Amino acid sequence: MHMEMGPNQGNQPVVPARTEPLDAAPVHIQPTPAADPSLEGTTLGMRAVLSLADFRSCRNLSEISERYKQTGFTFSNQAELLQQIAKDWNHAREAAIKTARSSPLPSEFPVDRLTVDGKNYALLGILHSVAAHPDSIVLLRTTLNEFPFPLAEQNLGILNFGLHSSGLDIPDHHTEGMLAAVLQNEVNSFKFFVRTFREASPKRAAARRAAETQPSNAETELGKHFGRFQSALGIRNPIAEQFSRDLLFIPVDLMFEPTPTGVRVELMEQNGQRLPRTTARSAYMAEFLRQFNPEQALRHLRDHVPEEVLTRAYQETAFVCGKGHVEEIRYFLENGVKDSRIRNAAIRDAQLLNDDLRAFLESITRRERTIRNIGFALAIGKGLALGGAVAGIIQLL
């Protein structure tokens, strides 16, 4: 018997309307699938019921269940549905991995486009690391030229791609409040020192020297230059580079998660679980993008920027973020943000940007200054504690 699942319940605004219909006509597949020649040589020998495109066209479990119903598959409970989703998702993973590295470099950086409530979004998910493959950097730079004023995940645009010259970072790291931001900075600092000591090992140094003898796969001088820049810093990482190139073809959730990202997030919401920090930031980003009004926020540029450039910015909001955020952002754009604390924070910040760019930037600066001051105080405290511990040990000797 088909399992009926209603829309999400909770304290949230009206769920955004999907503007495009389900694009595939019902295709009836027998419950005993036939062998799929495209998966020859993989661990999967049977045809999947739903494809990656099918999953992406569904915004929640209810729509996925309905799509299965269109193909002749019904489920008596949610557990059966989730089991079939995992099987089909694994099929999609096998097929994607098989073809990814044999595929030619795309002509542009992959852009995930969607339209919700009449607003167009372009999500550019990247591996935000200087270890990214030169091919990825070249394609991203080229594709970003299509978007006059892109927004970006906090620190991603300014630190990695210079978006501050034409675009803007949004303060998603402040989603959980000041203390959480300080603690995250402490964790990041610890990870940085761990990576630094690890990269200094003789084995890693030998691997870097070997990597420097390999020709760059970049197809432009910019890519070759970036490759040399990585080597000069001593951080060239062939494995990370290949991984970032793979991500041009394979979504992160398809590569690492047992089910689509949206399924995971919806189940957390059904169970009343608190969103992990990274997912909470994705929710903030999605709500910020929903509330962002480019015509209002960019009004001060009307006398300085050609009208056709502004028109492009008005027609589609581009957002650059870590690849792992893309599908979570898509989910929250299409289904709304349930957590009122996250939603209200994003609404507050986006409306400030819409009303007064200078005040928005000053607000971020004040927050960052506060976080640095708290972090500095913690550093002094840790230093005093360490000094006291060393003095105590000396007295015992």
Q: Which residues pair with 322 in a beta bridge?
A: 126
164-184 tens-digit pLDDT: 556 788 998 877 654 555 455
Residue 346: per-residue pLDDT: 95
Query: Diameter of the chain by CA atoms?
Result: 80
Provide the whole-model pTM: 0.71
* C-beta atoms surrounding 310 within 10 Å: 19
Residue 371: per-residue pLDDT: 59
Which amino acid, 88?
D
Which amino acid, 363?
S
Residue 185: per-residue pLDDT: 53
What does each C-alpha distance from 332 to 115, 194, 290 come to in angstroms? 13, 34, 10
Residue 393: per-residue pLDDT: 53
Residue 42: per-residue pLDDT: 37
Closest C-alpha among 350, 343, 342, 379 to residue 289: 350
E runs forming strands in the chain? 112-116, 119-126, 151-152, 168-169, 317-322
262-315 tens-digit pLDDT: 999 999 999 999 999 899 999 999 999 999 999 999 888 888 888 888 899 999
d(CA 150, CA 268): 31
Phi, psi for 123 (deg, rounded to 5):
-100, 125
Per-residue pLDDT of the chain (397 residues; tens, 9 = 90+): 344 444 444 444 444 544 443 333 333 333 434 444 443 433 334 578 999 999 999 999 999 999 999 999 999 999 999 999 999 999 998 888 888 777 887 888 889 999 999 999 999 988 766 556 677 777 887 888 888 889 999 877 765 566 555 678 899 887 765 455 545 555 555 555 555 555 555 555 555 444 444 433 333 333 343 343 344 444 555 656 666 677 778 888 998 899 999 999 999 999 999 999 899 999 999 999 999 999 999 888 888 888 888 899 999 999 999 889 999 999 999 999 999 999 999 999 999 999 998 888 888 888 777 656 655 555 565 555 555 555 555 555 5
DSSP for 253-317, written as a single string? HHHH-SS-HHHHHHHHHHTTPPPPHHHHHHHHHHHHHHH--HHHHTGGGTTTS-HHHHHHHHH-E
CB contact at 8 A, 250 and 100: yes
Closest C-alpha among 395, 264, 276 to residue 335: 264
**Angle of helix 340-355 versus helix 357-396 axis, rounded to 10:** 130
DSSP state of 55: H
Stretch (H or E) spanning 86 = helix 78-100
139-150 tens-digit pLDDT: 887 888 888 889
